[in-house]
């Protein structure tokens, strides 16, 4: 194992969040403990996501941005895993969304390029829009400001490839699910929301007419694996889909979940008007992928792991 120097750190932005905290854990499992978490802990419940992680240092997001701009950091950065973002797809404040997801990301990427630091970042399959069944680079049609902020940064990152001497890799996540989503509220994955409902009253609430909507659900550990692989690659540039490569209908998904809970059923509710125009009917990361033949976690297995973790983690805030 490579010697660890604590002045040579891996920075994980959004490191107290759902995916970010699992990236921290994934780095730990590779023997990397010199991890700096950058996040906004206004919601202190997110510390539960880091309880099982080894963290060398923490810095607030605003302070980190300031120090990046004035080139005054207390450590040398070995690699960036940029997971931090505003992820509320229903948010309409474009100014806040663009400042956090686009402008902030540009500042970090500029620093990474200047210092030749590998930069792996989270993009989103939301950039493909509502009715897109191809979902390959060049077919983007973002339907909300969140998706647009991710798309625009993808475009910017691609424009910087020619200047970079180190990796710039964007990972377009499909529908990621797993433990540690508690702080996300209504922005949890559909699977976690459905399990919440089942544990509350044995009922899944499904929008009318959405039975045959299809989603590519990818288990969080598979996403973490791709992040850690990318951080270890030789200098390379690219933008890739990260999914299970399998689209499953809500009917199939809810059938799996209902089989786990005795006397459970579906209740159909009206489709909220505000969501109809931006609700993706189909997602599938089966093109332009980085994972190739790597075995992925099946939905059945992922659901079993998630339910077990929820039962065993006494300090897990749902």
Catalytic residues: 146, 184
Residues in the chain: 318
246, 247, 252, 258: CA torsion to nearest 10: 80
Residue found under tokens 């060049």: 138
**Backbone φ/ψ region at 129: left (φ over 0), alpha (ψ -120 to 50), beta:** left
Measured from the Cβ of residue 93, the count of other Cβ atoms closer than 10 Å reads 11
| DSSP code for 237 | E
Alpha carbon distances (Å) from 266 to 178, 194, 258, 309: 22, 10, 8, 24
Q: Give the whole-angstrom CA distance, residue 299 versus residue 42.
A: 33
Q: Write down the H helix ranges in 71-115.
A: 94-98, 104-114
Q: What token pair was written down for 73?
A: 């950091």
**Helix, strand or coil, per DSSP, at residue 308:** helix
Helix/strand number for the chain, H first, E second: 10, 13
Beta strands in the chain (DSSP E): 8-13, 35-39, 57-60, 76-82, 119-124, 168-173, 175-177, 203-207, 214-215, 217-219, 237-242, 248-249, 265-269
Residue 48: exposed, middle, or buried by beta-carbon count in 10 A (0-12, 13-18, 19+)? middle
Sign of CA dihedral 286, 287, 289, 294: positive
| DSSP code for 70 | H
């Amino acid at each position: 194992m490579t010697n660890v120097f604590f002045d040579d750190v891996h920075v994980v932005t959004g490191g107290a969040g759902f995916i970010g905290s699992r990236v921290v854990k994934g780095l730990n499992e590779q023997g990397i403990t010199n991890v700096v978490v950058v996040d906004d802990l206004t919601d202190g419940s997110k510390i539960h996501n880091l309880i099982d992680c080894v963290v060398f240092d923490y810095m607030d997001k605003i302070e980190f941005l300031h120090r990046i701009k004035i080139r005054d950091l207390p450590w040398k950065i070995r690699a960036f895993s940029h997971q931090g973002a505003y992820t509320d797809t229903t948010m309409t404040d474009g100014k806040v969304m663009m400042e956090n997801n686009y402008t902030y990301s540009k500042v970090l990427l500029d620093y990474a390029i200047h210092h030749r630091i590998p930069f792996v970042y989270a993009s989103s399959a939301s950039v493909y829009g509502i009715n897109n069944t191809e979902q390959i680079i060049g077919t983007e049609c973002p339907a909300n400001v969140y998706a647009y902020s991710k798309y625009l940064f993808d475009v910017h990152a691609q424009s910087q490839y020619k200047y970079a001497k180190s990796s710039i890799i964007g990972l377009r996540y499909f529908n990621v699910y797993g433990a540690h989503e508690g702080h996300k509220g209504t922005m949890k994955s559909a699977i976690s929301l459905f399990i919440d409902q089942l544990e509350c009253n044995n009922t899944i609430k499904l929008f009318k007419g959405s039975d045959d909507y299809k989603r590519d659900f990818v288990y969080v550990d598979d996403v973490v694996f791709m992040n850690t692989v990318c951080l270890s690659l030789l200098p390379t540039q690219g933008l890739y889909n990260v999914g299970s490569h399998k689209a499953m209908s809500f009917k199939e998904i809810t059938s799996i979940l209902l089989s786990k809970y005795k006397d459970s059923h579906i209740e159909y509710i009206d489709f909220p008007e505000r969501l109809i125009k931006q609700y993706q009917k189909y997602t599938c990361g089966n093109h332009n992928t980085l994972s190739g033949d790597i075995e992925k976690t099946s939905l059945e297995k992922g659901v079993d792991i998630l339910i077990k973790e929820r039962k065993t983690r006494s300090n897990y805030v749902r």
